[in-house]
Chains A and B, each alone.
Chain A
Amino acid sequence: MSGPSTGWEIVVGLEVHCELQTKTKLFCACPNAFGDEPNTNVCPVCLGLPGSLPVLNEQAVELAMRIGAALHCEVRSSSFHRKNYFYPDMPKDYQISQYDQPINVGGYLELPDGSRVGIVRAHIEEDTGKTSHRGESGRIHSADYALVDYNRSGVPLVEIVTEPDIRSAAQARAFVAELRGVLVAAEASDARMEEGSLRIDANVSVRAEGTEQLGTRCEIKNLNSLRSLGLAIEHEAARQVAVIDAGGRVVQETRHWDEQGGRTVPLRSKEEAFDYRYFPEPDLVPLDPDADWKARAAAGVGMLPAERRARLAALVGSPTSQQTDQLQAAVDQGLDDLVVAAVEAGAPAGLALVRAVNELAVDLVAARALDPGSFAALLQLEESGALSPTQAKTVLATLRDAGGGDPGAIARSKGFEALAEATLEGVVRDVVDAHPDEWARYLAGDDKLAGFFTGQVMKATSGKANGKAVAGALRRLRG
Chain B
Amino acid sequence: MSAREIARAVRAGERSARGVVEESLAAIAERDGEVHAFLLVTGDEARSAADAIDAAVADGRDPGPLAGVPVALKDNLCTKGIPTTCASRILEGWRPPYDATVVTRLRRAGAVVVGKTNLDEFAMGSSTENSCAGPTRHPADPSRVPGGSSGGSAAAVAAGFVPLALGSDTGGSVRQPAALCGTVGVKPTYGAVSRYGLVAFASSLDQIGPLAASVEDAALLLEVIAGHDPLDSTSIAQAAPEVTASLDVGVAGLRVGVCDELVEGTAPDVVARVQQAADALVDAGAHVTRVSVPEMRYGLSAYYLIAPAEASSNLARYDGVRYGLRVPASDVAAMNVATRTAGFGPEVKRRIMLGTYALSAGYYDAYYAKAQRVRTLLIEAFSRAYEQVDVLLGATAPTTAFPIGERVDDPMAMYMSDVCTIPSNLAGHPAISVPFGTGDDGLPVGVQVLAPALEEARMFQAAAAIERAAPAPGSGTK
Interface residues of A (CB under 8 A from B): 44, 47-56, 82, 84, 86, 88, 91-94, 146, 148, 275, 277-279, 282-285
Q: Which of B84, B230, B316, B356 has the most CB of A within 10 A?
A: B316
Chain B contacts of A275 at CB under 8 A? 360-361
Nearest CB of chain B from residue A55's CB, rounded to whole Å: 5
- Contact (A91, B322) CB under 8 Å given A50-B84, A50-B86, A282-B310: yes
Q: Are the CB atoms of B368 and A53 closer together than 8 Å?
A: no
Count of chain A to chain B residue pairs whose CB atoms are closer than 8 Å in the complex: 97
Which A-chain residue is minimally distant from B333 (CB atoms)? A86
Q: Is the CB of B78 within 8 A of A50?
A: yes
* Chain B, interface residues (CB within 8 Å), range: 35 or more
Q: Given contacts A49-B96, A279-B313, are A88 and B319 in contact (CB under 8 A)?
A: yes
Chain A residues in 8 Å Cβ range of B195: 53
Residue interface bits B321-343, CB-to-A below 8 A is 1, else 0 = 11100000000110010000000
Contact of B317 with A51 in the complex, beta carbons under 8 Å:
no
Complex interface: chain A residues within 8 A of B312 (CB): 84, 277
Main DSSP-derived SS at the B contact region: loop
What DSSP secondary structure best describes chain A's contact surface? loop
Contacts of B301 in A (CB 8 A): none
Query: Which residue of chain B has its CB nearest to the CB of A85?
Result: B316
Is B309 an interface residue when CB atoms closer than 8 A count as contact? yes
Residue on A nearest B324 in the bound complex, by CB: A50
- When distances are taken between beta carbons in the complex, the residues of chain A under 8 Å from B368 are 279
A193 to B58, CA, bound (A): 63
Q: 6 nearest interchain CB pairs? A: A93-B316, A277-B359, A282-B204, A282-B203, A50-B199, A51-B197
Residues of chain B within 8 A (CB-CB) of A277 are 312-313, 356, 359-361, 364
> Which of B91, B98, B230, B317 is the one whose CB lies under 8 Å from A93?
B317
Do residues A283 and B233 form an inter-chain contact, with CB atoms below 8 A? yes
B65 to chain A, nearest CB (A): 25
B33 in contact (CB, < 8 A) = no
Q: How far is the CA of A88 from the CA of B309 in the complex (A)?
A: 22
Expressed in whole angstroms, the Cα–Cα distance for A93 and B339 within the complex equals: 14
Inter-chain contacts of A93 with B (CB < 8 A): 316-317, 319
A283 B234 Cβ-Cβ under 8 A: yes
Q: Contact at A50–B336, with CB atoms within 8 Å?
A: no
Residues of A within 8 A of B319 (CB): 86, 88, 93
A49 touching B97 in the complex, CB below 8 Å, given contacts A277-B356, A283-B203: yes
CB contact between A148 and one of B309, B310, B321, B364 (< 8 Å): that residue:
B321
Query: CA–CA, A275 to B361, complex, Å?
Result: 6
* Nearest chain B CB to A274 CB, angstrom units: 10
Assess the B313–A94 pair: CB atoms within 8 A. yes
Q: Which listed residue, A51, A84, A146, touches B199 by the CB 8 Å rule?
A: A51
A283 to B359, CA, bound (A): 17
- B198 interface residue, CB < 8 Å from A? yes
Asked if A82 contacts B313 (CB within 8 A), the reply is yes
Inter-chain CA distance A279–B364, complex, in Å, is: 9
Closest B residue, CB atoms, query A284:
B233
Q: How far is the CA of A93 from the CA of B317 in the complex (A)?
A: 5
Contacts of B86 in A (CB 8 A): 50
- A232-B84 Cα distance, complex, nearest whole Å: 50
Known: A44-B98, A86-B316, A94-B313. A51 touches B200 (CB 8 A): yes
B89-109 interface bits toward A, Cβ cutoff 8 Å, 1 = contact, 0 = none: 001001011101000000000
C-alpha gap A49/B319 in the complex (Å): 12
Residues of B within 8 A of A56 (CB): 233
B344 at the interface (CB under 8 A from A): no
Q: How far is the CB of A375 from chain B (nearest CB, A)?
A: 51
- Of A50, A52, A92, A282, the most chain B CB neighbours within 10 A belong to A50
Residue interface bits B75-88, CB-to-A below 8 A is 1, else 0: 01110000010100
